[in-house]
Amino acid sequence: MLLSKFFMPVLKEVPKDAEIISHVLMLRTGMIQQSSSGIYSWLPLGKIVLEKIIDICRKEMKEAGANEILMPTLQSADIWKQSGRYEDYGKEMLRIKDRNDRDLLYGPTNEELVTEIFRTHVKSYKQLPLNLFHIQWKFRDELRPRFGVMRGREFLMKDAYSFDIDYASSIKSYNVMFISYMQLFKKMGLKAIPMKADTGPIGGELSHEFIIIAETGESEVYVEDNLLNFQSSLENINYNDDLQKEVDKYTSFYAATEEKYDPNDHKKNLNLVQTRGIEVGHIFHFGQKYSIPMNASVNDSEGKSISTYMGSYGVGLSRLVGAVIEANHDNDGIVWPKEVTPWSYNIINLKSGDHTCDEICSNLYTLMKENSLSVLYDDTSERAGAKLAKADLIGLPYQIIIGPKGVKDKLFDVKNRKSGDVSKLSYNELLNFLNIKL
């Protein structure tokens, strides 16, 4: 992508209303623009990163055996009244009426709607287990929307819902989602820590939040120190296996959100670390909480009608963009992990208009695209210092810096954005670094 053709409204000043670094950097790099309180437009740079996160999540859900559907943003209030949650959910739910005076709501979550889909089409135990997921925008009327996309009112979410014939089978489905969450966060370059959590308005008796440790996190968390350094191999996971042992590797450590924390735990010879974290995912096992009042049942092998056992599994996809930045930045800007970076390489032409610099940069850019390398080329006429500052602000993994001095010396700077290390490479060495063969 040519930067001169790319819409990236970079801000030089720190926005006054931005409280945390991810909000600051998303506004400064032109990733988002506030539309109204807690609601944002996603501009091209932000949309690219968001789509990468969506792709990783979608692929992992399908690997885990989930089927993708798409449910509407507006839902009938009738099914929520049937489940008993319509009055219980609170003011976060946006309730509206259509022209025929029918009660509707802007979905904050989808347990009721997916249960209605299930009960309409699934009648036999032979059709189970079943996991349905979708990726859709949701709305919760937060009392105090803040921190940019980290606590907005409108947000993009992946939510999945499992259906099983009995309790034991539903725990297996819960474990599959538990491990798939560890996988998908890992594939985004993040280390998520699963913690026992409160079930809240979703309900149920078993729940885990997945937390990214960050000083600016909105949640107080308590973690056994050994878990912070724990590395479990999750390679070659077979989602058809019983994954209880894999889940146990993580849940054998103590980790709890503030709601689940008991001060007496300090007396159990546990070395607990009190810190802050960002919730990026939440899974729930709630059994027959929705299937019984909504009559979602199947016939078992003996023809007996059984209310299905359910679980729900959410990932805040738009929130994850902010979480990645919170976990990967420095004083100069974002430091994108390679897994979700908008581009891998940033060619910086320090003197656009210089014939030799333009030619070398243009040829290299074309060559990199022909070799399927992800590259942003700063071909603008800005001064060199501003270009370098912008490159650090955007934070792509590698910067290839080409200017008159480098052209004269036939050596080109390659900067590793994360480490700050700069290597001086000849043109052939640069091509070898890029794994390009002429």
Residue 223 forms part of a structural domain: yes
Give the sign of the dihedral formed by CA 372, CA 376, CA 379, CA 385.
Answer: negative
Task: Report pTM.
Answer: 0.93
Regarding whether 175 and 145 lie in a shared domain, the answer is: yes
Show which of 281, 310, 334 is a domain's final residue: 334
Alpha carbon distance 250, 272 (integer Å): 15
Host domain of residue 61: 3-334
Edge-to-edge strands, sheet with 412-416: 375-378, 345-349, 398-402, 412-416, 422-425
Show which of 312, 334, 356 is a domain's final residue: 334
Residue 438 forms part of a structural domain: no
Show which of 307, 334, 361 is a domain's final residue: 334
Alpha carbon distance 132, 331 (integer Å): 42
Q: List the CATH number of the domain containing 83.
A: 3.30.930.10
Residue 339 forms part of a structural domain: no
Regarding whether 142 and 263 lie in a shared domain, the answer is: yes
3-class secondary-structure state, position 181: helix
Which residues face 378 on adjacent strands? Answer: 348
Write out pLDDT tens, residues 130-167.
999 999 999 999 888 888 998 899 999 999 999 999 99
Regarding whether 287 and 173 lie in a shared domain, the answer is: yes
Return all residues near 85 (Cβ < 8 A) that are at least 6 apart: 111, 112, 201
**What's the pLDDT score for residue 325?**
95
Regarding whether 124 and 58 lie in a shared domain, the answer is: yes
**Residue 171 to residues 23, 150, 163, 166, 250: CA-CA distances in angstroms?**
37, 30, 11, 9, 16
Enumerate residue ranges in the chain where pLDDT < 50. none
Alpha helices in 240-316 (DSSP H): 244-251
3-class secondary-structure state, position 234: coil
Q: List the CATH number of the domain containing 360.
A: 3.40.50.800
Decide if 3 contacts 377 (C-beta within 8 A). yes
Which residue bears the tokens 């897994």?
339
Alpha carbon distance 321, 304 (integer Å): 47
Regarding whether 105 and 7 lie in a shared domain, the answer is: yes
Regarding whether 232 and 94 lie in a shared domain, the answer is: yes
Decide if 257 contacts 268 (C-beta within 8 A). no
Regarding whether 403 and 292 lie in a shared domain, the answer is: no
Regarding whether 148 and 59 lie in a shared domain, the answer is: yes
**What's the pLDDT score for residue 198?**
74
Regarding whether 236 and 95 lie in a shared domain, the answer is: yes
DSSP secondary structure of 297-366? EEE-TTS-EEEPEEEEEEEEHHHHHHHHHHHSEETTEE---TTT-S-SEEEEETTTT-HHHHHHHHHHHH
Residue 340 forms part of a structural domain: no
Alpha carbon distance 379, 387 (integer Å): 10
Residue 314 forms part of a structural domain: yes
3-class secondary-structure state, position 107: coil
CA neighbor of 210 nearest in space, from 140, 219, 148:
219
Regarding whether 385 and 321 lie in a shared domain, the answer is: no
Residue 110 forms part of a structural domain: yes
Here the tokens at position 341 are: 């970076």
Regarding whether 355 and 300 lie in a shared domain, the answer is: no
Decide if 256 contacts 221 (C-beta within 8 A). yes
Regarding whether 328 and 250 lie in a shared domain, the answer is: yes
Here the tokens at position 64 are: 């885990």
Here the tokens at position 93 are: 């739910």
Alpha carbon distance 89, 104 (integer Å): 14
Query: Considering its fold, how many domains does the chain have in total?
Result: 2
**What's the pLDDT score for residue 202?**
64
Query: How does DSSP classify residue 3?
Result: G
